[in-house]
């Protein structure tokens, strides 16, 4: 049977709740080990068909930074789509209506909060997408499945549930995966009393299924470049990017955002990301919120 181990795709996640003043960020290019400018990073990203922007949902500066990246990429290339972890494929009609301004804000916000929550953090991003008629697609899989795997492990899924995921889905934890998760502390505050192995299986299953969903979208829209909105535990190179079809020529790039005690300049390497946005400490940079 065919296994879903490598698929075309994209990933990014954005939030914000206030108007921001844009200044010069500090960005580490991991290949060279040097700090580069924002325009230099955008120049590197625009060569990619797929851009992954990982974030920590608890750090508002991450979503503000992601917003600026999306704007810069869209200004240079209007043929963009945005793929989001926050919705599932069955919500595609809602996303289409939002992008074409055929749905009320109240109804969309209700759908968003049912799928993800924290609307005010994401509001400026989704309003920018709507105002510019950018195509949206949902990546995520059933929350019930993810919760079951987190609590009981992948082997707890029934034959019917596995059939619903699709042919050949295998959730093996490869050697070294857990070691890197520990090094980057990507599980911090997320275990909720369940086992570390189940946590890893949940993330791997999410990577595989989101890659599968997005590969279908990419095949249907081959002319589009895609920005993907997803958390650090899916956007890093060992996450969804690892499931990409290497023969598709998508040249994916990954941007991670520094989070103290987790993803940091002392722990992230070129094996996990192409760029690291330095946003804490004396050598970091943050947005300064200003009144609208």
Mean of the per-residue pLDDT values of the chain: 83
Half-sphere exposure of 47 (CA within 13 A, CB side): 9
Residue 114: DSSP 8-state: H
Going 228 to 253 to 285 to 24, the CA torsion angle's sign is negative
CB 44 within 8 A of CB 274: yes
**According to the per-residue pLDDT averaged within each range, which of 6-15, 19-28, 54-63, 148-157 is highest?**
148-157
d(CA 261, CA 267): 10
Query: What are 53-76's pLDDT values in tens digits?
Result: 998 877 777 878 888 899 999 999
pLDDT of residue 280: 55
Q: Which carries the bigger pLDDT value, residue 200 or residue 279?
A: 200
pLDDT of residue 281 exceeding 70, the answer is no
* Beta-carbon count within 10 A of 257 CB: 25
pLDDT of residue 193 exceeding 80, the answer is no
The string over 89-123, giving b where at least 16 C-beta atoms fall within 10 Å of a residue's C-beta and e elsewhere, is bebeebbebbbeeebeeeebeebbeebbeebebbb
Looking at 40-44, 102-106, 133-137, 165-169, which range is the least confident one? Answer: 165-169
Query: Structure tokens of 243?
Result: 């499931």
* Beta-carbon count within 10 A of 183 CB: 15
Task: Give the dihedral of Cα atoms 129, 287, 50, 101; nearest 10 deg.
Answer: 0
d(CA 211, CA 49): 15
pLDDT of residue 264 exceeding 70, the answer is yes
pLDDT of residue 67: 87
**pLDDT (mean) for 181-201:** 75
Query: What are 211-261's pLDDT values in tens digits?
Result: 889 888 999 999 999 999 998 889 999 899 988 776 566 778 999 988 877
Query: What are 149-188's pLDDT values in tens digits?
Result: 999 999 999 999 999 998 888 888 887 888 888 887 777 6
Query: Structure tokens of 105?
Result: 């804000």
Query: Structure tokens of 237?
Result: 């190179």
pLDDT of residue 141: 92
Calculate the CA 15 to chain-centre distance: 12
Residue 87: DSSP 8-state: S
pLDDT of residue 58: 76
pLDDT of residue 199: 86
pLDDT of residue 3 exceeding 90, the answer is no
3-state helix, strand, coil in the chain (%, to 5): 40, 15, 45
Q: Which carries the bigger pLDDT value, residue 204 or residue 215?
A: 204
For residue 265, the SS3 value is coil
Going 117 to 118 to 120 to 126, the CA torsion angle's sign is negative
Q: Which carries the bigger pLDDT value, residue 23 or residue 17?
A: 23
Q: Which residues pair with 26 in a beta bridge?
A: 278
- Sort residue 224 into left (φ over 0), alpha (ψ -120 to 50) or beta: beta
- For residue 82, which of 134, 120, 8 has the smallest C-alpha distance? 134
pLDDT of residue 4: 38
Query: What are 75-111's pLDDT values in tens digits?
Result: 998 999 999 999 999 999 999 999 999 999 999 999 9
Tell me which fold the domain 20-289 belongs to. Answer: Rossmann fold (3.40.50)
Going by pLDDT thresholds of 50, 70 and 90, the confidence category of residue 189 is: low
- Cα dist from 56 to 90, 99, 152, 164, whole Å: 25, 25, 25, 30
């Amino acid at each position: 049977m065919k296994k879903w181990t490598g698929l075309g795709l994209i990933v990014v996640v954005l939030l914000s709740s206030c108007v921001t003043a844009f200044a010069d960020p500090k960005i580490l290019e991991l290949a060279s080990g040097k700090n580069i400018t924002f325009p230099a990073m955008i120049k590197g990203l625009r060569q990619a068909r797929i851009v992954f922007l990982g974030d920590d949902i608890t750090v508002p500066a991450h979503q503000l930074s992601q917003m600026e990246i999306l704007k810069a990429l869209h200004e240079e290339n209007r043929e963009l789509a945005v793929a989001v972890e926050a919705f599932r494929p069955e919500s595609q009609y809602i996303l289409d209506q939002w992008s074409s301004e055929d749905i009320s804000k109240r109804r969309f916000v209700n759908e968003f909060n049912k799928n993800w929550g924290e609307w005010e953090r994401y509001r400026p991003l989704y309003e920018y997408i709507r105002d510019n008629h950018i195509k949206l697609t949902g990546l995520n899989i059933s929350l019930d499945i993810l919760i079951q795997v987190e609590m009981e492990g992948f082997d707890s899924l029934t034959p019917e549930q596995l059939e619903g995921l699709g042919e050949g889905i295998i959730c093996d934890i490869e050697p070294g995966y857990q070691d890197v998760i520990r090094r980057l502390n990507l599980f911090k505050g997320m275990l909720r009393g369940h086992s570390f192995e189940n946590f890893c299986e949940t993330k791997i299953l999410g990577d595989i299924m989101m890659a599968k969903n997005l590969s279908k979208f990419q095949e249907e829209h081959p002319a589009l470049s895609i920005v993907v909105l997803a958390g650090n535990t899916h956007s890093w190179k060992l996450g969804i990017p690892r499931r990409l079809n290497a023969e598709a020529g998508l040249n994916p790039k990954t941007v991670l955002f520094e989070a103290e005690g987790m993803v940091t300049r002392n722990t992230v390497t070129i094996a996990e990301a192409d760029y690291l946005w330095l946003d804490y400490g004396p050598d970091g940079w943050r947005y300064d919120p200003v009144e609208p």
